[in-house]
């Protein structure tokens, strides 16, 4: 039987951890093999210092991982625009008001990290078990780095990954009414048009996650569970989720934020 995914170890010392991951996720373990030399499965999880999702074959794009310490997120933390960023405005963040946020579609945790860096407490949900492991690995490395960096330590304290659940809609539906200050939704949307270089690096991720066909089921329980607002991140030209018009929308560089308000934020 063919598998959509397999597990490999980046070096001999990671074999035990890779075997454990294989047993946990139910994907075969191929041993210490570079992803470029794997030909029988389209993607692998490579267990090394970092957990990496890799497309296979010699012409595959680069790996996908969660990196809260360096790279693009480190640059954005320092130079991203602070509270003036559209995502910050969308959740209602302002001086003296830093809402607790439930990110119900956490993905690779990028927006969650940005909001935590700006002062919000973030609880993340992720239903895909592979993406959940990528997130957990990224948070683990963030907390290791935080032991030597007080600024990262403060951010790490604000971020938590809730236990794996197969349905964010069901999880939201089980929460008491108006118990979550802000709910943030960023469902995967089918790609359109030309594929950019950045998107090519995400081929393995998009292949793994696909489009969130049940995205519409998230909005109603989110609106019931939130107190201040529910924020939905969408591509600029995408229709409203469930065709429900938001209270207002904010446009960013590559998309927009549809905001469904219930109670006014303090200010």
Residue positions forming the annotated binding site for S-adenosyl-L-methionine = 110-111, 126-127, 186
Tracing tokens 């032991």 back to the chain, one arrives at 147
Residue ranges of alpha helices (H) inside the chain are: 15-25, 71-79, 86-91, 110-117, 129-146, 150-157, 168-173, 197-201, 203-209, 216-225
Partners of 94 in the β-ladder: 97
User: Which residues line the annotated binding site?
Assistant: 110-111, 126-127, 186
Classified as helix, coil or strand, 46 is strand
Distance between CA atoms of residues 140 and 152, nearest Å: 12
- The string of DSSP letters for 137-163 reads HHHHHHHHHHTT-HHHHHHHHTEEEPP
Distance between CA atoms of residues 9 and 146, nearest Å: 26
Burial 105-119, CB ≥16 within 10 A → b, else e: bbbbbbbbbbbbbbb
Chain mean position to CA 228: 22
- The string of DSSP letters for 231-254 reads EEEEETTSPPGGGPPPSEEEE-SS
């Amino acid at each position: 039987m063919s598998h959509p995914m397999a597990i490999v170890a980046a070096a001999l010392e990671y074999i035990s951890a890779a075997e454990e991951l294989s047993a946990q996720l139910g994907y075969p373990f191929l041993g210490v093999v570079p992803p470029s030399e794997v030909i029988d499965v389209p993607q692998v999880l490579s267990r090394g210092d970092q957990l990496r999702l890799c497309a296979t074959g010699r012409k595959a794009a680069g790996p996908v991982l969660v990196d809260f310490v360096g790279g693009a997120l480190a640059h954005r933390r320092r130079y991203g625009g602070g509270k003036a960023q559209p995502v910050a405005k969308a959740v209602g963040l302002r001086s003296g008001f830093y809402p607790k946020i439930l990110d119900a579609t956490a993905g690779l945790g990028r927006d969650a990290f940005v909001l935590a860096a700006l002062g919000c407490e973030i609880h993340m949900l992720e239903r895909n078990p592979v993406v959940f492991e990528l997130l957990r690995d990224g948070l683990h490395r963030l907390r290791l780095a935080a032991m030597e960096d007080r600024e990262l330590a403060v951010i790490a304290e604000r971020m938590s990954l809730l236990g794996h659940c197969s349905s964010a809609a069901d999880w939201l539906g089980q929460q008491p009414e108006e118990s979550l200050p802000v709910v943030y939704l960023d469902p995967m949307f089918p790609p359109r048009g030309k594929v950019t270089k950045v998107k090519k690096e995400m081929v393995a991720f998009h292949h793994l996650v696909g489009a969130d066909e049940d995205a519409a089921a998230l909005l109603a329980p989110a609106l019931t569970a939130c107190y201040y607002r529910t924020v939905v991140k969408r591509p600029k030209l995408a229709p409203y989720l469930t065709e429900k018009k938001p209270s207002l929308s904010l446009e960013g560089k590559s998309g927009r934020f549809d905001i469904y308000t219930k109670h006014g934020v303090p200010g």
